[in-house]
Amino acid sequence: MSLSTGVIGRIMQGEDVENPVLQILAIKRINSNVESERYRILISDGMYFNSYAMLASQLNHLHQAGDLEEFTIVRLDKYMTSLVGKEGVGKRVLIINELSVLKSGSEQKSKIGEPVTYENAKKTPAPAAPSIPTKKEPLFGNINSSKNNNNNNNNNNNTMNSTLNAGLTHPIASLSPYQNKWVIKARVTAKTAIRTWSNPRGEGKLFSMDLMDESGEIRATAFKEQCDKFYDLIQVDGVYYFSKCQLKPANKQYSQLKNDYEMTFTGETMVQMCEDEEDSIPEIKYDLVPISQVSNMENKAAVDTIGICKEVGELQTFTSRTTNKEFKKRDLTLVDMSNSAISLTLWGDDAVNFDGHVQPVILVKGTRINEFNGGKSLSLGGGSIMKINPDIPEAHKLRGWFDNGGGDNIANMVSARTGGGTFSADWLTLKDARERNLGSGDKPDYFQCKAVVHIVKQENAFYKACPQAECNKKVVDEGNDRYRCERCNQDFPNFKYRLLINLSIGDWTSNRWVTCFSEIGEQLLKHTAQEVGEALENDPPKAEQMFSGMNFSAHIFKLRCKNEVYGDMTRNKLTVQSVSPINYKDYNKHLIKELQQLTGIGSSN
């Protein structure tokens, strides 16, 4: 009995071939959903095979009756091809509606010819070597070269290799805890750093990754031994075969991936790099939103966007008040051609390693919106992806726009002004700030200015504060080496020093007394609050040295301005939100802009 050699290539390009005779090489149920039982067939014409053939459900009984075994020869009496998946990344599937069995598999007993995937046939007219992986290097996980397999591993290898040889991988969307014999072929879209944990239930380490194929996405986590074993091997953007992971319901609270399940690597988990057919797994898809549009999106929504990192904030370290854990973060300001700016927060290593002074293009996927003071900002949380200077057309367009001055006059601030962090407050002179009655409204005003430190008061420059990490309340010195915190309602044998420094700063227009707290004080004095407090109490010459060291130093001050009422007195109070070294490029840009406004010379409009 002969097959209709070569017809699969024609059928899959849309040609209507009448009654092709084909051979079934494998049949597999593609989901475990009781309501919708579907079978996927690996079917061959002796020259090409198609691993994306589906049995229409009205024919399921044929398989249940055992009529569609391996090697069965069938005639397709009615079939259709259909594009499944989203536009752009669709895959053509052969759906078999009616068929006749010409020869049973048990009678036929063997595969006819050495078929290759029809997708390859399109690229190379002459049939090439099979593109379905057989045994390829590099192999890792439990799939080793056949020579050093032990018996235990053979079973696993057989599952993976037979599936791969048959060209049958499972769509991610079909995975569930009720079925564990599967192999998926997926692109790694994100990988976390290795994280350790320690809690009453134990300790360990882990990393997790996001996997994607045409059908969907899923998160996978590797703990302890698996973490060590796979961390270096799994690379972002790579395509791999995965099998033998444990599926469990996903905790939607912690993941925005569209899957009801997530998976955990086990001792049997296998991962194999896929070097062929990578094209069949879609690239990561970004639903890029202009920054201006984020204003209209809901709090906590996930956002993909791209912008130029116009400003970079300092690395900040803080201790969470709720968990007492230490965090590192860095705020960036992204701008784009919607003439808008938004603040993006990076965490952990992303924050530590970020180099923003070159103003790179930043592409993010799955960042969370945080609402504050009516503004919106983005946070790169777990499950988010960031790409720096990605090689995509949008990035090049932005680069060109920005390098030609596109970001100089950003009109729309999507994030609230905080004065702290990176957010660019307006430039004002100290004189302007007073004359414009800044701080007289309900909310504080923020501005930045270039100023020099004139006088620093050493008196009352520190206080003794509650030693609890999350509390900075002044303690009551009970005189018996005990310190009481009223807020924590607790006695302590110790305290910590906090700074509260008054200093006079001046620019070319005026000078003002401003207040700064510990973090800023430590930065200006170049010593910790502890060192400063001890020096002030016990070593006045050393304190004098520290304090005089900051005299006449120039900085960019970001200031918070607010009227405060003391008794019947209203005072306009300035608090330092941040100090940073003068970035002359930025500062000159500001000066040139001022000059243009004053003179009307050199302004393009």
Partner DNA sequence: CCCCCCCC
For 174-260, strand residue ranges (E) read 183-191, 195-199, 202-212, 217-223, 239-249
Measured CA to CA, the distance from residue 137 to residue 145 in angstroms comes to 8
Q: Which stretch binds DNA (CB under 7 A): 146-154, 192-200, 448-456, 482-490?
A: 192-200
Asked whether position 376 contacts DNA by CB under 7 A, the answer is: no
Q: How far is the CB of 227 from DNA (least distance, A)?
A: 9
Give the one residue of 85, 113, 130, 204 binding DNA; rule: CB under 7 A: 204
Measured CA to CA, the distance from residue 323 to residue 304 in angstroms comes to 29
Asked whether position 223 contacts DNA by CB under 7 A, the answer is: yes
User: Which tokens belong to 6?
Assistant: 């070569």
Q: What's the gap between Cα 200 and its chain centre?
A: 29
Give the one residue of 86, 109, 136, 195 binding DNA; rule: CB under 7 A: 195
Q: How far is the CB of 552 from DNA (least distance, A)?
A: 29
Q: Which stretch binds DNA (CB under 7 A): 96-104, 152-160, 248-256, 332-340?
A: 248-256
> Would you say how long the chain is, in residues?
605
Q: Are strands 490-492 and 569-580 parallel, antiparallel or unpaired?
A: unpaired
Nearer to DNA, 23 or 345 (CB): 345
Nearer to DNA, 376 or 555 (CB): 376
Helix axes 518-525, 529-538, angle to 10 degrees: 70
Q: How far is the CB of 151 from DNA (least distance, A)?
A: 24
- Binding residue count for DNA, defined by CB under 7 A: 41
Nearer to DNA, 456 or 574 (CB): 574
Taking residues 336 to 375 in sequence order and writing x for each that binds DNA by CB under 7 A, - otherwise, the string is: ---------x-xx---------------------x-x---
Q: Which stretch binds DNA (CB under 7 A): 80-88, 144-152, 412-420, 475-483?
A: 412-420
Give the one residue of 181, 224, 457, 526 binding DNA; rule: CB under 7 A: 224
209 class by beta-carbon count within 10 Å (0-12 exposed, 13-18 middle, 19+ buried): buried
Q: How far is the CB of 325 from DNA (least distance, A)?
A: 5
Asked whether position 110 contacts DNA by CB under 7 A, the answer is: no
Cis, peptide link before residue 171, omega less than 30° from 0: no
Q: Which residue has tokens 């923003």?
A: 356
Q: How far is the CB of 421 from DNA (least distance, A)?
A: 6
3-state helix, strand, coil split of the chain in percent (to 5) is 20, 40, 40
Asked whether position 197 contacts DNA by CB under 7 A, the answer is: yes
Give the one residue of 185, 191, 244, 329 binding DNA; rule: CB under 7 A: 329
Asked whether position 256 contacts DNA by CB under 7 A, the answer is: no
Task: For residue 547, give the H/E element and its range.
Answer: helix 540-549
Q: Which residue has tokens 């993909």?
A: 304
Q: Which stretch binds DNA (CB under 7 A): 35-43, 415-423, 477-485, 515-523?
A: 415-423
For 85-155, strand residue ranges (E) read 91-103, 116-117, 139-140
The answer to whether 38 touches 29, Cβ cutoff 8 Å, is yes
Q: Which stretch binds DNA (CB under 7 A): 51-59, 98-106, 243-251, 278-286?
A: 243-251
Q: How far is the CB of 472 from DNA (least distance, A)?
A: 12
Instruction: Supply the DSSP string of 301-369, one letter for each residue.
Output: -EEEEEEEEEEEPPPEEEE-TTT--EEEEEEEEEE-TTSEEEEEEEEHHHHHH---TT--EEEEEEEEE
409 class by beta-carbon count within 10 Å (0-12 exposed, 13-18 middle, 19+ buried): exposed
Measured CA to CA, the distance from residue 556 to residue 586 in angstroms comes to 11
Q: How far is the CB of 379 from DNA (least distance, A)?
A: 6
Q: How far is the CB of 482 from DNA (least distance, A)?
A: 29
Which phi-psi region, left, alpha or beta, contains residue 26 (left: φ > 0; alpha: ψ -120 to 50)?
A: beta
Asked whether position 86 contacts DNA by CB under 7 A, the answer is: no
Q: How far is the CB of 469 from DNA (least distance, A)?
A: 12
Q: Which stretch binds DNA (CB under 7 A): 113-121, 249-257, 274-282, 401-409?
A: 249-257
Cβ-proximal residues to 253 (8 Å cutoff; 6+ apart), any chain: none
Q: Which residue has tokens 């927060």?
A: 345
Nearer to DNA, 74 or 312 (CB): 312
Asked whether position 199 contacts DNA by CB under 7 A, the answer is: yes
Q: What's the gap between Cα 605 and its chain centre?
A: 40
The answer to whether 558 touches 421, Cβ cutoff 8 Å, is no
Give the one residue of 407, 420, 521, 533 binding DNA; rule: CB under 7 A: 420
Give the one residue of 155, 287, 299, 318 binding DNA; rule: CB under 7 A: 318
Nearer to DNA, 122 or 195 (CB): 195
Q: Which stretch binds DNA (CB under 7 A): 99-107, 112-120, 203-211, 270-278?
A: 203-211
For the segment 381-410, give every residue that binds DNA (CB under 7 A): 381-382
Q: Which stretch binds DNA (CB under 7 A): 219-227, 284-292, 303-311, 427-435?
A: 219-227
Give the one residue of 61, 147, 321, 585 binding DNA; rule: CB under 7 A: 321
Q: How far is the CB of 498 from DNA (least distance, A)?
A: 16
Asked whether position 442 contacts DNA by CB under 7 A, the answer is: no
Q: Which residue has tokens 């988010």?
A: 384
Measured CA to CA, the distance from residue 230 to residue 246 in angstroms comes to 16
Nearer to DNA, 225 or 408 (CB): 225
Q: Are strands 183-191 and 91-103 parallel, antiparallel or unpaired?
A: unpaired
Query: Can you say whether the dihedral through the CA atoms of 223, 225, 230, 231 is positive or negative?
Result: positive
Rounded to a whole number, what is the largest CA-CA distance in the chain?
105
Taking residues 265 to 284 in sequence order and writing x for each that binds DNA by CB under 7 A, - otherwise, the string is: -x------------------
Residues in contact with DNA by the rule CB under 7 A: 195, 197, 199, 201-202, 204, 206, 208, 221, 223-224, 248, 250-251, 254-255, 262, 264, 266, 316, 318, 320-323, 325, 327, 329, 345, 347-348, 370, 372, 377, 379, 381-382, 416, 418, 420-421
